[in-house]
Structure 1
């Protein structure tokens, strides 16, 4: 008969081995819900032609998708914690796929808003927040890497579907494309979700590689702490900074004269967008892994300064097509890591028990960033008739947030952990 310590060690070994299977299943779920956001631009023309709406009216759908995904994330996180990871992630993947099927039959803008925007936003939000919350529990010693890996799945997943969807639109039309890919992506997500489960707490708690354990803090108590709101402000500033530039890229590329030039035998703008998507995905696990070894705040300071410098160089060499393409990738390499650094830092600070719901509240910062980064940047450009003020705000936010991470967040978190360590 095995002794209790030996049995516990065996359980721990099995848990630590199976968590890589959990990461794989979570990655597939994230890839399955990435297309509604990242290939949306392919549908705007056909939808405008079918429904008779202007581009601005059609784009309301995308705004609804992002707003529902982010602003309802605390509720979605609570549902995951309350009813179980497998059931809720399956529901989220199903809703995401169903949104495309319903959108294929939409005959009015209202129906498009409700299907693609509302149903799709709720579904993708459940999956995104739920998977990130699950991974930071499964990987207490590698939270940055795990959160970054699944976030990369969301950032890069649409690379698998972009060309097939584009070809399908040309060959079978928008309605059939939405129906086929909605059903296929929903089914893939549903199947992958059946392999998900919560980690056995007792087994993972014995992992000696975990640097520290903290008292689990419920959302109500977390929202009363200055430490949370500091992270929220920092996340909002970084989200705004990145989206100020990335959401306006096609517009300022045109003003910089980059839409009609060739780089390495390809059109500069599509090439830049392709490189950007790759870098935006790779940076999430990369800087997450660095933060696991070098510290969250140190990595934040490095990454945010890196992006600010890259943006400065990008603006100063905007008349050089080769540098425009290459530096756009460097900018994305310095921005996408916020989706691994902030959730891992939050869980390190406030514990794992309420990790999903807690991250849901922090993730609302992304929604605020999307509002300021899109319309506000466009208005700033319209008012000043220059892109320099837009870049100046973005660069300033990068450098301010880097300073806050190193000089303020680092000190406050150290004090918090000293008081609340187990």
Structure 2
């Protein structure tokens, strides 16, 4: 709880110390890294042609990017909480810009993977820092602040899609990578000088945290959980599963929209909406990014009023309906544009609602690192993107990295959560730490294998997948969305906000059971 001496927003402060100004530069940094994800689909066909590779092989680049953008965020969040955001974001801007510049010079798939990996690390630092900053500076408006910040990432590419597409057409994808990589890297570096963390004990003027142990109307915990303690709760793992499910469909749409438009032969068909005429693909990409950004503060604002879980149910259901209509009428250029936009309107909210509910449940002291762990769910979902490409076309796919990621992830989750929480099996500290460390090492090698696909493994796992087409691939996404909506309304909504971290018995792993609000 704060004392009377705690700093507050009511004190006189310079313009550059104002939390709204800091939020602005956080959003600006997010805008600058948005194209690394949302502009990717424009580069897929020319990369296929130049490198002479199948689409599934090129799309592994996107998986590499998202894995490193997400799975390193917990560590990056810890660094931000320890050293502050300015230095980390400055380095991130250099890495992100360099990643695109080197991607423009890549002549092999492995070089492309490694180059885009740098972009992923840089974008991950920016994303984790910006969202964590919003959660810390705006405990009174978590949903709205997280939504505005995430909107920078979602809508940041809305007005650059056409210039990048035109540059690719006129000068080649290499020039687009290099020129825009430099521009975006410089913007992040400049924004970094205006970022800072709030002082210890700081609170907005007129806002008070709930007394310890009291669950307020907004279901906000008065206790600050660190990431280790958070990972011992069933609430966190339910959120993780839900976010993975919903992220799957959206990431497939992000990565596959260009190839999908080409397959349905609508990519170059002119579309006139609201006195604007553009090729259907460019129109869809611009509209999708704009709507994807607008929806994040909108859903965040809604969740601040009706609750996170009810808002999730509405948004996930909307996304499922939009995907259903999209795959049914994708051959119509107007329907393609409109319902791809609705898909992103229902998807983008996960990047405002999940950080907000994570802050609600686990406190704001470790908000950057905690949401960093939850954000890795996006990386887990990204593993399915190249598999989706292979399923759509009925191509062979190498599952070795996926097998390693699955085995390593299960070992780590078993040791830290399933055994003590669900099975109520007490592991000694030595066994727990061994299983957890081995699991993380296997996951790390799985990520390495994704980046360097010729790396050695003691087994092979390359299989030809059945051809299910885009309809089959996105049907899986619909099922995931509906399942997440059900979990949000009937399970997460009934769970209590954790009231205290689990007390550990020395030498033993913790044991606890889910707490439901009846």
Q: Same fold (TM over 0.5)?
A: yes
Q: Is the alpha carbon distance of 1:180 and 1:332 closer, same or farther for their aligned partners in structure 2, counting shifts above 3 Å?
A: closer
SS at match of 2:337: helix
Write out per-residue CA displacement over residues 69-125 of structure 1, whole angstroms, 9 at most, x where no aligned residue.
1222222222222221111111111211122334445454443332x2222111111
Q: Does 1:229 align with 2:237?
A: yes
How do residues 61-100 of structure 1 correspond to structure 2 at under 5 angstroms? Answer: 61-100=61-100
How do residues 2-401 of structure 1 correspond to structure 2 at under 5 angstroms? Answer: 11=10, 14=13, 18-44=18-44, 57-106=57-106, 108-114=108-114, 116-169=115-168, 177-204=176-203, 207-208=206-207, 211=218, 212-254=220-262, 256=264, 258-259=266-267, 261-264=269-272, 265-318=277-330, 320-376=332-388, 378-379=390-391, 382=394, 383=466, 385-401=468-484
- Which blocks of at least 5 consecutive residues in structure 2 are unaligned? 210-217, 395-465, 503-518
SS at match of 2:201: helix
Counterparts of 2:342 and 2:175, CA distance in 1? 37
Counterparts of 2:263 and 2:170, CA distance in 1? 34
Contact 2:56–2:387 (CA<8 Å) still a contact in 1? no
Q: 1:291 offset after TM fit, Å?
A: 0.8
Q: 1:223 offset after TM fit, Å?
A: 0.9
Q: Does 1:405 align with 2:413?
A: no
Counterparts of 1:243 and 1:8, CA distance in 2? 41
TM-score by length of 2: 0.71
SS at match of 1:263: strand
SS at match of 1:203: coil
- Worse overlay, 102-111 or 129-138: 102-111
Contact 1:258–1:269 (CA<8 Å) still a contact in 2? yes
Q: Is the alpha carbon distance of 1:334 and 1:52 closer, same or farther for their aligned partners in structure 2, counting shifts above 3 Å?
A: closer
Q: 1:230 offset after TM fit, Å?
A: 0.3
Q: 1:156 offset after TM fit, Å?
A: 1.9
Counterparts of 1:247 and 1:105, CA distance in 2? 21
Q: 1:22 offset after TM fit, Å?
A: 0.9
Counterparts of 2:269 and 2:67, CA distance in 1? 35
Kindly indicate which of the two structures has a greater share of residues assigned to helix.
1
| Pairwise CA RMSD | 3.2
Q: Is the alpha carbon distance of 1:289 and 1:9 closer, same or farther for their aligned partners in structure 2, counting shifts above 3 Å?
A: same
- Which blocks of at least 5 consecutive residues in structure 1 are unaligned? none
SS at match of 1:204: coil
Q: 1:224 offset after TM fit, Å?
A: 1.2
Write out per-residue CA displacement over residues 369-402 of structure 1, whole angstroms, 9 at most, x where no aligned residue.
1222441464267325444433432222222211
TM-score by length of 1: 0.86
Counterparts of 2:305 and 2:204, CA distance in 1? 19
Q: Is the alpha carbon distance of 1:81 and 1:278 closer, same or farther for their aligned partners in structure 2, counting shifts above 3 Å?
A: same
Counterparts of 1:129 and 1:154, CA distance in 2? 11
SS at match of 2:78: helix
Contact 1:73–1:126 (CA<8 Å) still a contact in 2? yes
Q: Is the alpha carbon distance of 1:417 and 1:205 closer, same or farther for their aligned partners in structure 2, counting shifts above 3 Å?
A: farther
Q: Is the alpha carbon distance of 1:384 and 1:336 closer, same or farther for their aligned partners in structure 2, counting shifts above 3 Å?
A: same
Q: 1:25 offset after TM fit, Å?
A: 0.5
Q: Is the alpha carbon distance of 1:419 and 1:221 closer, same or farther for their aligned partners in structure 2, counting shifts above 3 Å?
A: closer
Q: 1:353 offset after TM fit, Å?
A: 1.5
Q: 1:367 offset after TM fit, Å?
A: 1.1
Counterparts of 2:348 and 2:360, CA distance in 1? 20
Q: Is the alpha carbon distance of 1:13 and 1:329 closer, same or farther for their aligned partners in structure 2, counting shifts above 3 Å?
A: farther
